[in-house]
Amino acid sequence: MDVFERVNHLIAEIEAATATNPEEVERFRIRYVGSKNVLKPLMGEMRNIEANRRRDFGQLVNRAKEVAQQKLDDLQSATAVQSADDDGTTIDLTAPGEPQPLGSRHPISLTMRRIVSIFERIGFAVAEGPEVEDDWHNFSAMNTPEDHPARDMQDTFYVAAGMPAGPDNTAMLLRTHTSSVQARTMENQKPPIRIIAPGRVYRNETISARSHAQFHQLEGLYIAEKVSFADMKATLLHFAREMYGEDTKIRLRPSYFPFTEPSAEMDIWWGLETEHDHRITKGTGWLEIMGCGMVDPQVLTNCGIDPEKYSGYAFGMGIERQAMLLYNITDIRLMFENDVRFLRQFASVL
Ligand code: PHE
């Protein structure tokens, strides 16, 4: 048998090889692929072959190596498939995997994250407070008079019937705004204070397409020496432009809150191009985004900060409304029903 025939013979042998368990596969590997395989000595035959046939011979040996490697791969996966679990069942490792569905962030989270990051980039730190709050932090410290309508059961959810009750006999309630975090932060930190407080708030409201009994706000508070209304305006303009585009215009309208003086409401210019613009801006082109103002000196005093030395501004904005604007959502209730057909639409948004 000449060397060409020997190689062809080996190739046939390799192609016919079978294995039913890992030991047999290993025996195959050692014989045809391992470091001392039977193909190796054949290369040594090269010098005994006539010069014009050497090239063909080299190619034939290479083919034998490839066939051996391919056969080894096949035998390995074939026997792996058949490896049985302890209970005798087999797992098909070559079967396609089950796709894992990708989740999505909630539009409220998306909006909140965006707003938080805008303020974080200019030095505001995130602060938190409890959702079940006492009357002091939600109302009294914030300068809200005893007879203010916001304190009414018609507007506020009190915790446990028969309120007021709670530590020191103060009523416990579901916070009606994130402004309670202002009071908590001022009680616990010395100026300069520069915080934002994102969170959930509750009001005893009739649920409709436009309002809900639970929603989200983001509060802002900046207290230091010589903080002015102009500082507040510049910060809020910066926010509006980061959020709604660099050409965004804002306006501040005089308003009233018990805890700020002077107080304002901030609108952004939305435009009046479409029917929809007319509807959501009530024909004005302006959209109210938040309440704001200079922290009332009485609030500073209530929280242990000297109003002669320090001043500051505060603002509070609703999140749902902005999420509705960003994503063209027309009914606030969609945000709390957790219908996956709604939620899945946000899967691609970071
Ligand atoms: N707490 C106010 C509200 O819920 C918003 C606000 C916050 C206004 C801070 C002024 C300053 O409507």
The CATH number given to 107-346 is 3.30.930.10
Contacts of 209 (CB under 8 A, 6+ apart): 330, 331, 332, 333
* Average pLDDT over every residue of 70-98: 79
Residue 165, pLDDT above cutoff 60: no
pLDDT digits (tens, 9 = 90+) for 115-140: 999 999 999 999 999 999 999 999 99
Rounded distance between C-alpha atoms, residue 57 and residue 3, angstroms: 9
Name residue 266's beta-bridge partners: 252, 290
Highest mean pLDDT of the ranges 63-67, 95-99, 262-266? 262-266
The answer to whether the CB of 39 is under 6 A from ligand 1 is: no
Contacts of 206 (CB under 8 A, 6+ apart): none
The answer to whether the CB of 281 is under 6 A from ligand 1 is: no
pLDDT reported for residue 168:
56
Rounded distance between C-alpha atoms, residue 147 and residue 131, angstroms: 23
The answer to whether the CB of 316 is under 6 A from ligand 1 is: yes
Q: How far is the CA of 263 from the centre of ligand 1 (A)?
A: 9
* Average pLDDT over every residue of 167-196: 91
pLDDT reported for residue 107:
96
Q: List where CATH 3.30.930.10 sits in the chain.
A: 107-346
Between 146 and 260, where is the model more confident? Answer: 260
- Which letter does DSSP use for residue 344 in this model? G
Handedness of CA 242, 243, 246, 248 (dihedral sign): negative
pLDDT band at 183 (very low <50, low <70, confident <90, very high): very high
Between 242 and 97, where is the model more confident? Answer: 242
Rounded distance between C-alpha atoms, residue 140 and residue 335, angstroms: 32
Ligand 1 mutation pick, 259, 265, 266, 296, max ligand atoms within 8 A of CB: 259
Range in 161-175, 253-267, 318-332 the model is least confident about: 161-175
- State the closest ligand 1 atom to the C-alpha of 217, by its place in the atom list counted from 1: 4
pLDDT reported for residue 195:
98
Nearest CA owner, ligand 1 atom 2: 316
Q: How far is the CA of 11 from the centre of ligand 1 (A)?
A: 84
> In the structure encoding, which two tokens stand for residue 47, read together?
């010098």
pLDDT band at 146 (very low <50, low <70, confident <90, very high): confident
Phi-psi region of 9 (alpha: psi -120 to 50; beta: other; left: phi over 0): alpha
pLDDT reported for residue 94:
86
pLDDT digits (tens, 9 = 90+) for 315-346: 999 999 999 999 999 899 999 999 999 999 99
